[in-house]
Structure 1
Amino acid sequence: MPPAPPEAGPEARPPSPLTVLLGPVRGRVATAAALQGAAGALGLVPLVCIVEIARALLEAGPADPGRLWTQIGLALAGAVASLLAGAASALVGHLADNDMQLAVRRSLAAHLSRVPLGWFSGRGSGRVKKALHDDIAEVHSLVAHTLPDLAAVVAVPVAALAYLLLVDWRLGLVAVALIAAGILLFARAMAGGTAKLAEAARAMGDINAAAVEFVEGIQVVKHFGGHRRAHERFLRAADAYADFFASWSRATTPVTVASFLLLSAPMVTVATVLAGTAFTAAGWSDPVSVVAFALIAPALCAPMNVIGSRVQQIQGAAAAAARVAGLLAVPPLPEGEGGVPRDARVVFDGVRFAYPAQDGREAEEVLRGVDLVLEPGTVTALVGPSGAGKTTLATLPARFHDPTAGSVSLGGVDLRDLPSEELYRNVGFVFQEVRLLRESVADNIALGRPGASRADVEAAARAARIADRIERLPRGYDSVVGEDAELSGGEAQRVSIARLILADPAVLVLDEATAAVDPVAEADIQDALGELARGRTVLVIAHRLATVAGADRIAVMESGRIVESGTHDGLLARRERYAALWSAQNDGGEQGEEQ
């Protein structure tokens, strides 16, 4: 047996998220950086050759033609080698970046597919999009451009300084003093940059989230005339970002400008040439040394002009990698190891549930000991005031969350013991908000049963009362959603119902799928839902009690508990909570509720 690895000491730190992200391509990134550094250093060869040609021409006596042609040949060879090394660096870096992006996006897609569905409801789509797209793109710049450029930033000044110190160490010290002063000022300007960039990313994330929220709700906003109120959040987020950026700029701009002046090519060139002229007059230097510094001294600082942006890109990439790592660190839903339901009986046994604490808020218990049985082939309706916990309870059979106490079982098997494929083969759901993929209508319907025949897809569409509309599309079932298939909300809802009819789950969860559609579409959807619910175990959230008066069982929820249950007539006869809700909707006008 191999010896156990030594335990990490107290000073050991885990690798940074950026280090972990770049781990699989670290070797190729280092190769790209080395090639770019070599390209920068080789780019100095023609300048050195010019200095040597000047030296040959200024020496007493006629110049040796062979020596001059040798220097010309070396200059051309250096220029070509520099171009080739730069091209090789770009190729290696971009190939490494492509592999890194592919691996990270695959990891994110695979991981997010295992995250509880309920996790997504608490996250703004703008923030998730930023991590999945923007943050990975920021790391792309680091791999393909920033790190190789930084290698050149280091290699070129080091090579230039080494040569200039050999030519004239006194003038070399003058150049070093200027550059050292510029670097110290720049380091002062960059102090705390990582924290500032993280704060900037949070502020930009707020802008993204507010913009997405505003755009998604624009129809309602325009209809009811709440323009100012609706975009106030976006304006506040934009103003906060502008104030933060202005404050940061005021604090760093003077020092940054001073450092750029000291590190600018004109400043270093003028300072060294003036010093060289004085040194030559004093007999400390020779004219060829002044020529060398006039040509090569700018190389000491020219790359420095980009180091500020490159350092910021590294800090930005580090913050982006941390956000990607944060997504990858979200605990996945534990996968069940076995178990096959014997029937479609769903049992809630002592179920308690609290949403996790986040953003400084304490955990909030939403369900407080719920016992409920859904018998096969029956319809059970959940009713109650807003905030009673109806939607939370209805999401548990589909494992949007797992109970914090108690259990939910299907056919005698705890849902936590069911493999996800088995779970979603048996449990389907239709909620108010419909999402269709940018695929053909046929593929959207067949999503729940890949490989289904076209005949089965069309039969499901007919059962969902959407076949006629699909056949009127430019390419019928082959029309692509979002391209040549523009569907209304009610039509998209019926496509999602057709998907479930084809998938044929034994248990169905419905959340008032007709709440946001017109009366004509509502009638079609109700017919489709009737077809879908036939013979299945159905749990439906009812906001309008009249739609579930014929349910086999009605459970009244209040403050996370079931306080009353029975049939419509039986509950009315008891004259308690259900009767009061019925009276409020039918005597005082219907009041739409939302969970």
Structure 2
Amino acid sequence: MSKHAGKVSGMKPKNMKQTYKDLLAYINVYLPIVIVALVLAMGAAVISLIGPRQLSEITDLITAGLTGQLDIAAIEKIALLLVTLYVISYIANYVQGFIMATITQRVSKKLRRDISEKINRLPLRYFDSNSVGDVLSRVTNDIDMISQTMNQSISTLVTATTMFLGSLFMMFITNVPMTLAAIASTLIGFGLMILIVRHSQQYFGAQQKALGAVNGHVEEIYSGHNVVKAYNAERGAKETFDQINDDLYQSAWKSQFFSGIMMPLMNFIGNFGYVVVSILGAVLALNGDITFGVIVAFMMYIRLFTQPLSQFAQAATSLQSTAAASERVFDFLHEVELIDEKGKTSQLENIRGDVEFEHVHFGYTPEKTIINDFSVHIKPGQKVAIVGPTGAGKTTIVNLLMRFYEINSGSIKIDGIPTTDLTREDVHEQFCMVLQDTWIFQGTVRENIVYNVEGVTDEQVEDACKAVGIDHFIRTLPHGYDTVLDDQTSLSAGQKQLITIARALVKDAPLLILDEATSSVDTRTEALIQQAMDHLMVGRTSFVIAHRLSTIKNSDVILVMDNGDIIEKGNHVELLAAGGFYANLYNSQFEEA
């Protein structure tokens, strides 16, 4: 990653309106029950608004009782009504909270599942330009942000709106002059809140994006920490991280700062409203225009009136973060997928292994072609070696054969059937593959070897391991073939490679691809593996990419590639006799000998 790869400029969601439309469409199936929850939240808020008026009546009854007979029955009746209302309000809040928590987790689960499935439908070229850490951030951080907003902010916003409008209505029917005074004292709060929300909006999108950049960098450096240490690149990695981390700090600090000042600001406005209502109420009470109970009611209504202001602000900032997170999630879900192949009926059965490239052209980007008019016919059972300098297009040919990428023009045929007429799954089923970069997942040795192949017996697993010379090592592990391979199990690069080769042996597919399969093992182990590979290749069409030319001397056909073209073709003896590019390459590896 370059030093500026994680640089994120302050930005807000490109289209907040469209983002929310996408989110609403996504949760459409849950909308009826969500509406029920929001109605319950509104109902609980309305019940809370009735309380101050009833307390006003109790206050007036008690005040009247100070100079006359206290109406205990009326007070008890109002008190019982208040208890009943507050119990109903509690139950409504509990039910709506339960509903929203349930729906939120179901939506989060569905989002994670859809992203996981989406990853399998994306072309590999997407991951050429997007870091793994950024994709992981969408699965974790962005979905968590959406979850928190759905669980808290939406119901809070509905409750706050109901409280705000309801308390305003109740104040107006209680006393107009005091209501106008309360509104005047809170107008400044509205103005400041709108100003802050508009100014802070840009930082929430930057915060989510910078978080993805941090995850991407950490994942990249951690996975290659040995290389970083070997090259003494810790300082450079730290500088890059510090830069990305500073971007996150700046955007997170600004967004959280503006979010954090909302509550103190709204508390000030609320307290200021208390003062205004208390002074005006005292004047009106002394003049006999209102009762003391009205002042008590207004003291509560002013709190119910100003409290939603801070809730509006918090919900607004949360919704902005959610818009940024949702945009990243739905941008990923809307990425162009691999073409749907459900309508394809061609299938490969009992294949012979005849492979033909006809005038294939390909480039990872439209402006740069890597493979130029590549044509070759490989007969069934032949062992084909592909050699050439780095960047010649060797691995690209294998990627195209496996349909990891789609060719720009031309055709690739297996037993006369173009691979584009077959489903990718059918093409992949015909190959067993061993790559230079080993992949071992957390599971037992047996599970790693049998990976996604059904009906494999223990004897077949052991035979495969004996063939590649790793059976003895596996039996020295604490639980043999049932040893779990994880961070606590130490395997060398060569041992990992041997396990992946055994995995290929177990799959026993008719076509074989070896991409630098022996590059991580010593010479003696390489010889053992070569014997196993020679046995495996009998009767199978095999493609071998190798830099060690000694490992491909017995190949039936050697394709020498340079700049995306086949520049020489023949077997080892023929190419040496020709004295061309291959002969120079071979002799350069063994000139000392």
Distance in structure 1 (CA, Å) of the matches to 2:182 and 2:211? 41
- The answer to whether residue 302 in structure 2 is matched with residue 293 in structure 1 is no
Cα gap change, 1:453 to 1:83, in 2 (>3 Å): farther
DSSP 3-state at the match of 1:550: coil
Amino acid at match of 2:466: R
Per-residue displacement from partner, 1:375-402 (whole Å, max 9, x unpaired)?
3222222222222222222111211111
**Number of residue pairs the alignment of both structures matches:** 571
- After superposition, where does 1:417-496 map in structure 2 within 5 Å? 417-482=421-486, 485-496=489-500
Using the TM superposition, give the Cα deviation of residue 243 of structure 1 relative to its aligned residue in structure 2, in angstroms: 4.0
Alignment partner of 2:560 out of 536, 556, 563? 556
Using the TM superposition, give the Cα deviation of residue 245 of structure 1 relative to its aligned residue in structure 2, in angstroms: 4.7
Higher relative contact order (CA closer than 8 Å, sequence separation 6+): 2
- After superposition, where does 1:330-369 map in structure 2 within 5 Å? 330-334=335-339, 335=341, 337-341=344-348, 342-356=351-365, 363-369=367-373
Distance in structure 1 (CA, Å) of the matches to 2:185 and 2:440? 61
Amino acid at match of 1:444: N
Match of 1:83 in 2: 90
Cα gap change, 1:90 to 1:345, in 2 (>3 Å): same
- Asked whether the equivalents of residues 493 and 525 of structure 1 are also in contact (C-alpha less than 8 Å), the reply is no
My pick for the range that moved more, 469-478 or 421-430, is 469-478
- The answer to whether residue 279 in structure 2 is matched with residue 270 in structure 1 is no
- The answer to whether residue 30 in structure 2 is matched with residue 25 in structure 1 is yes
Cα gap change, 1:372 to 1:517, in 2 (>3 Å): same
Distance in structure 1 (CA, Å) of the matches to 2:192 and 2:338? 50
DSSP 3-state at the match of 1:225: coil
DSSP 3-state at the match of 1:364: coil
Using the TM superposition, give the Cα deviation of residue 356 of structure 1 relative to its aligned residue in structure 2, in angstroms: 4.1
- After superposition, where does 1:312-331 map in structure 2 within 5 Å? 312-331=317-336
Per-residue displacement from partner, 1:471-491 (whole Å, max 9, x unpaired)?
333333333332765543333
- The answer to whether residue 236 in structure 2 is matched with residue 229 in structure 1 is yes
Distance in structure 2 (CA, Å) of the matches to 1:509 and 1:118? 21
Distance in structure 2 (CA, Å) of the matches to 1:521 and 1:299? 78
DSSP 3-state at the match of 1:401: coil
Per-residue displacement from partner, 1:559-590 (whole Å, max 9, x unpaired)?
2222222222322333332233334444489x
- Asked whether the equivalents of residues 127 and 209 of structure 1 are also in contact (C-alpha less than 8 Å), the reply is yes
- The answer to whether residue 114 in structure 2 is matched with residue 107 in structure 1 is yes
Distance in structure 2 (CA, Å) of the matches to 1:129 and 1:42? 44
TM-score, length-normalised on structure 2? 0.87
DSSP 3-state at the match of 2:374: strand
DSSP 3-state at the match of 1:113: helix
Using the TM superposition, give the Cα deviation of residue 200 of structure 1 relative to its aligned residue in structure 2, in angstroms: 2.4
Amino acid at match of 1:354: G
Distance in structure 1 (CA, Å) of the matches to 2:293 and 2:404? 77
- Asked whether the equivalents of residues 46 and 74 of structure 1 are also in contact (C-alpha less than 8 Å), the reply is no
Cα gap change, 1:410 to 1:227, in 2 (>3 Å): same
My pick for the range that moved more, 240-249 or 346-355, is 240-249
- Asked whether the equivalents of residues 353 and 365 of structure 1 are also in contact (C-alpha less than 8 Å), the reply is yes
Distance in structure 2 (CA, Å) of the matches to 1:488 and 1:268? 71
Cα gap change, 1:298 to 1:215, in 2 (>3 Å): same
Distance in structure 2 (CA, Å) of the matches to 1:346 and 1:586? 32
Using the TM superposition, give the Cα deviation of residue 136 of structure 1 relative to its aligned residue in structure 2, in angstroms: 1.9
TM-score, length-normalised on structure 1? 0.87
Cα gap change, 1:104 to 1:36, in 2 (>3 Å): same
Distance in structure 2 (CA, Å) of the matches to 1:66 and 1:460? 90
Amino acid at match of 1:437: F
Distance in structure 1 (CA, Å) of the matches to 2:111 and 2:482? 32
Per-residue displacement from partner, 1:160-200 (whole Å, max 9, x unpaired)?
22222222122122222333331222122122655432232
Distance in structure 1 (CA, Å) of the matches to 2:90 and 2:82? 13
DSSP 3-state at the match of 2:363: strand
DSSP 3-state at the match of 2:88: helix
Match of 2:13 in 1: none
Per-residue displacement from partner, 1:404-441 (whole Å, max 9, x unpaired)?
11122211111121123322220222212222333333
Alignment partner of 1:172 out of 179, 185, 192? 179
DSSP 3-state at the match of 1:406: strand
Distance in structure 2 (CA, Å) of the matches to 1:454 and 1:274? 88
Using the TM superposition, give the Cα deviation of residue 272 of structure 1 relative to its aligned residue in structure 2, in angstroms: 2.2
Match of 2:387 in 1: 383
Distance in structure 1 (CA, Å) of the matches to 2:308 and 2:35? 19
Cα gap change, 1:283 to 1:585, in 2 (>3 Å): farther
DSSP 3-state at the match of 1:403: coil
- Asked whether the equivalents of residues 45 and 74 of structure 1 are also in contact (C-alpha less than 8 Å), the reply is no
DSSP 3-state at the match of 2:484: coil
Using the TM superposition, give the Cα deviation of residue 205 of structure 1 relative to its aligned residue in structure 2, in angstroms: 1.7
Amino acid at match of 1:317: T
Using the TM superposition, give the Cα deviation of residue 246 of structure 1 relative to its aligned residue in structure 2, in angstroms: 5.5
Runs of 5+ in structure 2 lacking a partner? 1-16
Using the TM superposition, give the Cα deviation of residue 524 of structure 1 relative to its aligned residue in structure 2, in angstroms: 5.6
DSSP 3-state at the match of 1:385: coil
Structural RMSD (CA): 3.0
DSSP 3-state at the match of 1:355: coil
Match of 1:191 in 2: 198
- Asked whether the equivalents of residues 370 and 562 of structure 1 are also in contact (C-alpha less than 8 Å), the reply is yes
- The answer to whether residue 269 in structure 2 is matched with residue 260 in structure 1 is no
Per-residue displacement from partner, 1:234-254 (whole Å, max 9, x unpaired)?
22212333344566678x589
Using the TM superposition, give the Cα deviation of residue 47 of structure 1 relative to its aligned residue in structure 2, in angstroms: 4.1
- Asked whether the equivalents of residues 41 and 93 of structure 2 are also in contact (C-alpha less than 8 Å), the reply is yes
Using the TM superposition, give the Cα deviation of residue 215 of structure 1 relative to its aligned residue in structure 2, in angstroms: 0.6
Using the TM superposition, give the Cα deviation of residue 218 of structure 1 relative to its aligned residue in structure 2, in angstroms: 0.5
Cα gap change, 1:518 to 1:464, in 2 (>3 Å): closer
Match of 1:96 in 2: 103
